[in-house]
Amino acid sequence: MVNVLLKKQLFEIFRSYFYDAKKNRPRSRASTILFFVLYAVLMIGFVGGMFVLLAWSICQPLVASGMGWLYFTLFAGLAILLGVFGSVFNTFSSLYQAKDNDLLLSMPIPIRAILASRLLGVYLMGLMFSGVVLLPAVIFYWCAADASPSAIAGGVMLVLAVSLFVLVLSCVLGWVVAKISAKLKRKNFLTVFIALVFFGLYYMVCFRASDLLNELLANLTAVGDAVRGAAYPLYLLGRMGEGDWLAIAFVMAVTLALCALTYLVLSRTFIGIATASGTTAKAEYREKAVKAAGASSALLRKEFGRFTSSPNYMLNCALGTVMLPIMGVLLLVKAGGLLPVVYEIAGGEAPGFLAVMLCAALCLIGSMNDMTASSVSLEGKNLWLAQSLPVTAWQLLRAKLLVQLLVTGIPMAVTSVLVLLAIRPALQEAVLLVVLPLLFVWLSAEFGLLMDLKRPNLVWTNEITVIKQRITVLLVMLAGWLYAAAIAALYFVVGADMGAAWYLLAWSVLTAALAVLLRRWLRRSGSRLLGRLA
């Protein structure tokens, strides 16, 4: 029974690789194999390749200094972080928010079988994410430093211990999120907030990786003494990788005990949390005046409600809204040390050059928002409901456009002002540095809506299919990146002779003209196309 449930669990995780939701039929064997090969290339080639380079850069210095244990401790920590990050939300959704929990619990299936299959699914996901970090490090250590039988056994057991510890941490964090989520009304914002915190920590570590490695190599003795003194379990984890049999026995015993305790706790709380409906406040009627609203306002509220109801929609289609203010604040804070260097490199053209490059950067980050590229498809089979209302097709499309314009345009305007305060360009450049990014927001929103109208997917079963796993969404993002790159690259070809102000003005006129043409198409042809979709 556990094998059947686990197979179902894994099929749900990789469902899009086996089933084409747009065509409502299974994919061919060749297509499925191709998807898995591409996924393996991404995970092993790209992500794993980064950690191979990291292992290559620090393995020899640490082993030569007699601190091979510190090498394994560092990679075990990275594996735990990435493993928990990659599996904690899968734990939350598969253990407590699975749509088939009620169905499975109503069947004559033992609770332990359901829980065991869920945990095995979480374990395999955590093993994939932690293994892509730790396996290259272990193999590189065997090849470059020591391949004795004890080191081989220690490396294998280290991978197993880390993957089990990731399972324990993922279950604990998933249980905490589930308990908090059951008490909150706005669960979607909690999910988005936690994901953004993880993203922030991840990118902070990535940006500081070089400095941290240099500090580590420069202070090996002090770091090693600190770990052995204040965090002895981490020292044992590193010694385990080197093949210390006593460390292997101790770490595995503690890890297995934690796994048993986790299973015991989950077995007693699984049904309660999985079947919880959350807190509901008692409704109390209070008479109050209702203000009438027009059709446009109602449609806009509907679109905003759809946007804020889905963490996947917010995280995948509105990350630029978070990144834009961060860029502006960082630039404002770092301007004192950054601008003199830029002025020295660019000479007399620095103010204009900087204005153009920052304008391109604003457009590049703004292109991360692509709500309209999925807004029509997200209606799914309920598209006819909106079309049955006494509103025009253009009013429906305009409401979808306004969501992206407001969610992206407001932070874009604020960030543009912060950029102006940081670099203080000439008046003409300052005006265009605000105008051009806002025009780009308008153009990108219309282009995304055009692409979704041209190639919609209204037969999906999982919203992530239309939000993230469609070629049209990828094309919209790539088009935005290429547009922003063209703004920066063509400045070196023609913009330097024109002057920054005239160059930005030319791009503003072009962007506005394209936006007007797209708006005309959406109002006429797009409205007719929407009417034929339902």
Asked if 457 contacts 21 with a C-beta cutoff of 8 angstroms, the reply is yes
Please state, as a whole number, how many other Cβ atoms lie within 10 Å of the Cβ of residue 363.
27
In a domain, 55, yes or no: yes
What per-residue confidence (pLDDT) applies to 521? Answer: 94
For residue 164, what are the contacts with CB-CB under 8 A and spacing of at least 6? 123, 255, 256, 258, 259
Q: What is the DSSP letter of 93?
A: I
Which of 426, 430, 414 shows the shortest CA–CA distance to 366? Answer: 414
Distance between CA 447 and CA 515 in Å, rounded? 8
In a domain, 433, yes or no: yes
What per-residue confidence (pLDDT) applies to 472? Answer: 85
Distance between CA 69 and CA 421 in Å, rounded? 49
Distance between CA 322 and CA 326 in Å, rounded? 7
Distance between CA 91 and CA 118 in Å, rounded? 8
Long-range contact pairs involving 15-20 (C-beta distance under 8 Å, separation at least 24): 15/461, 15/462, 16/462, 16/465, 16/469
Q: What is the DSSP letter of 522?
A: I
Helices (H), ranges, 243-349: 245-274, 295-308, 311-317, 319-346
In a domain, 24, yes or no: no
Residue 410 phi, psi dihedral angles, 5° rounding: -65, -55
> Does 349 lie in the same domain as 226?
no
Q: Which helix (H) or strand (E) holds 143?
A: helix 111-144
Which of 231, 259, 274 corresponds to the end of one domain?
274
In a domain, 420, yes or no: yes
Residue 72 to residues 127, 229, 238, 251, Cα–Cα distance (Å)? 17, 17, 5, 14
pTM above 0.85, yes or no: no
Residue 26 phi, psi dihedral angles, 5° rounding: -65, 150
Q: What is the pLDDT of residues 209-264, one digit of tens each?
A: 555 555 655 665 665 666 666 667 777 888 888 888 988 898 899 999 998 998 88
> Does 416 lie in the same domain as 328?
yes
> Does 177 lie in the same domain as 78?
yes
> Does 187 lie in the same domain as 79?
yes
> Does 321 lie in the same domain as 236?
no
> Does 256 lie in the same domain as 110?
yes
In a domain, 286, yes or no: no
> Does 205 lie in the same domain as 83?
yes
R_g of the chain, CA atoms, integer Å: 27
In the predicted model, is pLDDT for residue 86 greater than 80?
no
Q: What is the pLDDT of residues 156-179, one digit of tens each?
A: 999 999 989 888 888 887 777 666
By the 10 Å C-beta count (0-12 exposed, 13-18 middle, 19+ buried), 64 is classed as exposed
> Does 354 lie in the same domain as 221?
no
Which of 222, 199, 406, 421 shows the shortest CA–CA distance to 328? Answer: 421
Distance between CA 262 and CA 267 in Å, rounded? 8
What per-residue confidence (pLDDT) applies to 467? Answer: 82
> Does 119 lie in the same domain as 255?
yes
What per-residue confidence (pLDDT) applies to 253? Answer: 92
In a domain, 292, yes or no: no
CA angle (126 as vertex; 121, 128 as ends), nearest 5: 100
Q: How many domains does the chain have?
A: 2
Residue whose tokens read 């850069």? 57
Q: What is the pLDDT of residues 289-336, one digit of tens each?
A: 766 667 888 888 888 888 888 777 887 888 889 889 988 888 888 776
Q: What is the pLDDT of residues 87-115, one digit of tens each?
A: 665 666 666 666 666 677 777 777 777 77
Look at 447 and 314; give whichever has higher pLDDT. Answer: 447
In a domain, 119, yes or no: yes
> Does 415 lie in the same domain as 317?
yes
> Does 223 lie in the same domain as 308?
no
Which string of DSSP letters, residue by residue, matches 407-455?
HHHHHHHHHHHHHHHHH---HHHHHHHHHHHHHHHHHHHHHHHHHHHHS
For residue 25, list its beta bridge partners: 20
Structural domain boundaries enclosing 465: 297-531
Q: What is the DSSP letter of 280?
A: -
Give a three-class secondary structure readout of 450-469: HHHHHCCCCCCCCHHHHHCC
Which band of pLDDT confidence, cut at 50, 70 and 90, is reported for residue 407?
Answer: very high
The percentage of residues in the chain with a pLDDT greater than 70, rounded to a whole number, is 76
> Does 213 lie in the same domain as 311?
no
Asked if 462 contacts 16 with a C-beta cutoff of 8 angstroms, the reply is yes
Residue whose tokens read 């928002």? 369
In a domain, 21, yes or no: no
